[in-house]
A and B are shown apart, each in its own frame.
Chain A
Amino acid sequence: MKKFVALLLAALMVLTACVAMAEADLITVGIVNNPPSESGYREANVKDFETVFTAENGYEAKTYYSLKNDEQLAAATQFITDGVDYLLISAAETTGWDEVLTAAQENGIGVFLFDRMIDCDPALYNAAIVSDMANQGKLAVEWLIAQNLEAYNIIHIQGAMGSDAQLGRTGALDAQVAANDNWKLVVQQTATWDEAEAKKITESVINAKEAFNVIYAENDGMAKGAVAALDEAGITHGKDGDVIVIGFDCNRWALREVLAGNWNYDGQCSPFQAQVISDMIQKLEAGETLELPEDKKVISEEKGFDAATITQEDIDAYGLGE
């Protein structure tokens, strides 16, 4: 048995060596990401990286997926030992990365952060390409202001408390409500991204017979849950309805709801960072320097889709999932 394993290992080594030799002229990148099963966002994110970092585009990509920070750290260390040219990281947690990133720098490995920031000295990475959750909230609130309602009575359904998306999307709305007398939160409750919970929260408001005209749900699933409660109670919603429905993430099915006029607005959270990173790597390879702001943060361009203006092309281009 031992002999067999040893033989197998030897064969594997030879094979890897062959592959390595064959692809010596490719740029090797080690990608540390969260698994695609995490969310629709991640699924699109992983697919984006798979389509950009290919052999045709001149890359040899090694990928490791984990939701756990320590496993991610171990994988990153392994990538450094393997001698990759670039390390691309979407960290599970914001802390604990200093040592690994320092090691990468010492070995002359370029580091790009994507989707998620890491708490460390910006000198330790080349650039961070991230979403600005607070900006997503701001865009949605600005859109809501533009609707010019006399009074805003809002059912606010939050995501898992403390998550980046929840904090950003809640922040903008909270600020607007605090600053304006005609903006009121009828209820502000967390459904921890759970569709069924969102439905129950909305039901409780309907049962208490409180007046509301806006549903601000921090992701698409929860917006769908809230809408199900409206449907059961016979309350109209969407473009020509009594209640404005706002969701986030731009799942394809959610954008279809917006196009059909059942919802009013869906805020984008862009998972497409691979091309931006690839462009930067090509620049570095060509010997150029990157033009970046001081904190090396590059914010992904994101927008929101309005039921009045959305088109089928938008859905095809920006929709996540099927």
Chain B
Amino acid sequence: MAQKKFNWSKYSQLMLPLISILLIVVFNLIRDPSFFSVEIAKNNVGNTVLTGNLISILNGASELAVLAMGMTLVTAACGGQDISVGALAAIAGSMFVKVLRSGEITVGSIILAFLCCCAIAIVFGAFNGTLVSVFKIQPMIATLVLFTCGRSIAYWINGGATPTVESPLINAIGSFIPGVPIPTPIIIVAICGILFALLLKFTTLGLYTQTVGINQRAARLNGINTTLIKLLSFMILGVCCAVAGCIGVSRLGLINHETLLLEIEMDAILAVAIGGNALGGGKFKVSSSVLGAYAIQALTITLYAMKVPSTAVKAYKAIVIILIVVIGSPVVKAYFSRLWARLKKSGKGMEAV
């Protein structure tokens, strides 16, 4: 019994994103029972592929899911959010395009391009991290710098407005690998998820991050290098930005540095919030944020399917988000746990009788 109770509290954080997703799923099934049906089709290149809203949601949320993973770590360690992820992804994407355009596109050059874009993203991530960890600037203010100038930097890297890269290999990354019916971005997210899980399971990073987030002073007195942990979280987020940027570029084989992953920082922060993570730092659960990311994408696709007028999309989105956030707020949570306790008590009373 005690064992079971322990498990509940361990996974209770997943409740909020799961409830959000469930709400959207039920709403859609009532509206259109075939909404989540998945079908097999043949695409214009001749591959057999899976299509349907479910695939669209999983596929479309890929960049957001990867960014939410990194954002969770930064939030936990620093007690603040990075608002420059969209801009940094644009920089990374530009670098990716820059390297690819300098020669023939082969598997080797793609790997090289990805490594280069990881490197530049880590450098900028470290820049953000240094401002936060060494100079003790509020994360939102520190990352405001890159948020403001990031897309201009992305422009400088390539010069042109929408440079294109055309190759079946790029298409395989952004769309489908021949013979694999699942969109590649979904596979990339799965790989990132596994890497994150391994990183948190087999290193002390997770524990240290949480400790720094909960009480920085206590962490330092216990011998944890708090500066390094914070810096590390920003560098990992940098890698996430690089992955997201590469997926974004590969989807269409072009980069528009002004619109690539535009305003995604807000969605990434929202994913962390819906995931039930403490935005002031401390306890965190990466999987919960990823579920939050899928909830947000499901909401967007639902609004498109409902043909909400283009001028009203954001308002509708806001209403649903208010609902989700209020349900997850401490006040409402406390109310429900009191209600639960009372129900349990009265249930026990009944048993006694």
Binding site secondary structure of chain A? helix
Asked if residues A189 and B152 are in contact (CB atoms below 8 Å), the reply is no
Q: From the candidates B176, B300, B304, name the one contacting A232 in the complex (CB within 8 A).
A: B176
Q: Known contacts A224-B252, A321-B162: does B305 contact A232 (CB below 8 Å)?
A: no
Asked if residues A195 and B252 are in contact (CB atoms below 8 Å), the reply is yes
A116 to B139, alpha carbons, bound, how many Å?
Answer: 38
Asked if residues B45 and A231 are in contact (CB atoms below 8 Å), the reply is yes
Asked if residues A234 and B304 are in contact (CB atoms below 8 Å), the reply is no
The reply to whether the CB of B175 lies closer than 8 angstroms to some CB of chain A is yes
A25 to B162, alpha carbons, bound, how many Å?
Answer: 40
Asked if residues A251 and B162 are in contact (CB atoms below 8 Å), the reply is yes
A200 to B183, alpha carbons, bound, how many Å?
Answer: 14
Among listed A15-23, A34-42, A93-101, A136-144, interface-contacting one: A34-42
Chain B 38-75 per-residue mask, 1 if CB under 8 angstroms from chain A, else 0: 00011111000101110010001000000000000000
A200 to B60, alpha carbons, bound, how many Å?
Answer: 7
Asked if residues A233 and B51 are in contact (CB atoms below 8 Å), the reply is yes
- The smallest beta-carbon distance between B52 and chain A, in angstroms, is 6
Contact residues of B between 295 and 331, Cβ < 8 Å to A: 300-301, 304-305, 307, 309-311, 313
Chain A 192-214 per-residue mask, 1 if CB under 8 angstroms from chain B, else 0: 11111001110110111000000
Residue numbers in A under 8 Å from B152 (CB-CB): 35, 37
Asked if residues A206 and B160 are in contact (CB atoms below 8 Å), the reply is no
Chain B 143-163 per-residue mask, 1 if CB under 8 angstroms from chain A, else 0: 000000001100110001111
Asked if residues A196 and B252 are in contact (CB atoms below 8 Å), the reply is yes
The reply to whether the CB of A298 lies closer than 8 angstroms to some CB of chain B is no
Q: From the candidates A38, A188, A196, A204, name the one contacting B301 in the complex (CB within 8 A).
A: A204
Residue numbers in B under 8 Å from A35 (CB-CB): 152
Residue numbers in B under 8 Å from A206 (CB-CB): 51
Q: Known contacts A221-B256, A232-B51, A232-B176: does B160 contact A43 (CB below 8 Å)?
A: yes
- The smallest beta-carbon distance between A166 and chain B, in angstroms, is 9
Asked if residues A253 and B251 are in contact (CB atoms below 8 Å), the reply is no
Q: Known contacts A161-B311, A221-B254, A232-B175: does B53 contact A204 (CB below 8 Å)?
A: yes
A253 to B163, alpha carbons, bound, how many Å?
Answer: 9
Residue numbers in A under 8 Å from B248 (CB-CB): 196
Q: Known contacts A158-B310, A204-B56, A232-B176: does B252 contact A199 (CB below 8 Å)?
A: yes
Asked if residues A224 and B161 are in contact (CB atoms below 8 Å), the reply is no
A233 to B164, alpha carbons, bound, how many Å?
Answer: 22
The reply to whether the CB of B267 lies closer than 8 angstroms to some CB of chain A is no
Asked if residues A230 and B44 are in contact (CB atoms below 8 Å), the reply is yes
Asked if residues B304 and A200 are in contact (CB atoms below 8 Å), the reply is yes
Total contacting residues, chain A, CB less than 8 A = 44
Which residue from chain B places its CB closest to the CB of A185 in the assembled complex?
B307
Residue numbers in B under 8 Å from A294 (CB-CB): none
Contact residues of B between 262 and 282, Cβ < 8 Å to A: 262
A189 to B311, alpha carbons, bound, how many Å?
Answer: 8
The reply to whether the CB of B259 lies closer than 8 angstroms to some CB of chain A is yes
Asked if residues B56 and A187 are in contact (CB atoms below 8 Å), the reply is no
Asked if residues A38 and B51 are in contact (CB atoms below 8 Å), the reply is no
- The smallest beta-carbon distance between B67 and chain A, in angstroms, is 14
- The smallest beta-carbon distance between A132 and chain B, in angstroms, is 22
Contact residues of A between 122 and 179, Cβ < 8 Å to B: 158, 161
Asked if residues A201 and B304 are in contact (CB atoms below 8 Å), the reply is yes
Q: Known contacts A38-B258, A192-B259, A233-B43: does B310 contact A228 (CB below 8 Å)?
A: no
A230 to B51, alpha carbons, bound, how many Å?
Answer: 11
- The smallest beta-carbon distance between B343 and chain A, in angstroms, is 41
The reply to whether the CB of A190 lies closer than 8 angstroms to some CB of chain B is yes
Contact residues of B between 16 and 46, Cβ < 8 Å to A: 32, 41-45
The reply to whether the CB of A322 lies closer than 8 angstroms to some CB of chain B is yes
- The smallest beta-carbon distance between B96 and chain A, in angstroms, is 15
Which residue from chain A places its CB closest to the CB of B38 in the assembled complex?
A207
Residue numbers in B under 8 Å from A234 (CB-CB): 41-44
The reply to whether the CB of A225 lies closer than 8 angstroms to some CB of chain B is yes
Asked if residues B162 and A196 are in contact (CB atoms below 8 Å), the reply is no
Residue numbers in A under 8 Å from B98 (CB-CB): none
Asked if residues A232 and B310 are in contact (CB atoms below 8 Å), the reply is no
The reply to whether the CB of A57 lies closer than 8 angstroms to some CB of chain B is no
Chain A 219-252 per-residue mask, 1 if CB under 8 angstroms from chain B, else 0: 0110011001011111110000000000000010
Which residue from chain B places its CB closest to the CB of A235 in the assembled complex?
B44
Residue numbers in A under 8 Å from B262 (CB-CB): 192, 194
Residue numbers in B under 8 Å from A231 (CB-CB): 43-45, 175
The reply to whether the CB of B283 lies closer than 8 angstroms to some CB of chain A is no
Which residue from chain A places its CB closest to the CB of B39 in the assembled complex?
A207
Which residue from chain A places its CB closest to the CB of B248 in the assembled complex?
A196
A199 to B305, alpha carbons, bound, how many Å?
Answer: 13
The reply to whether the CB of B285 lies closer than 8 angstroms to some CB of chain A is no
Q: From the candidates B45, B251, B261, B304, name the one contacting A204 in the complex (CB within 8 A).
A: B304
Residue numbers in B under 8 Å from A220 (CB-CB): 162
- The smallest beta-carbon distance between B90 and chain A, in angstroms, is 11
A42 to B248, alpha carbons, bound, how many Å?
Answer: 23
22 interchain pairs, CB-CB under 8 A: A37-B161, A37-B258, A40-B161, A42-B161, A43-B160, A190-B310, A190-B311, A194-B262, A195-B252, A196-B251, A196-B261, A200-B60, A201-B304, A204-B56, A207-B52, A221-B252, A221-B254, A228-B251, A234-B44, A235-B44, A236-B44, A321-B160
Q: What are the nearest 6 A-B pairs in CB distance?
A: A40-B161, A190-B310, A37-B155, A204-B304, A231-B44, A194-B259
Given contacts A189-B310, A196-B261, A232-B49, 18 further A-B contacts (CB under 8 A): A35-B152, A39-B258, A40-B161, A42-B161, A161-B311, A188-B307, A193-B258, A196-B252, A204-B305, A221-B259, A231-B45, A232-B44, A232-B51, A233-B41, A234-B44, A235-B44, A253-B162, A253-B164
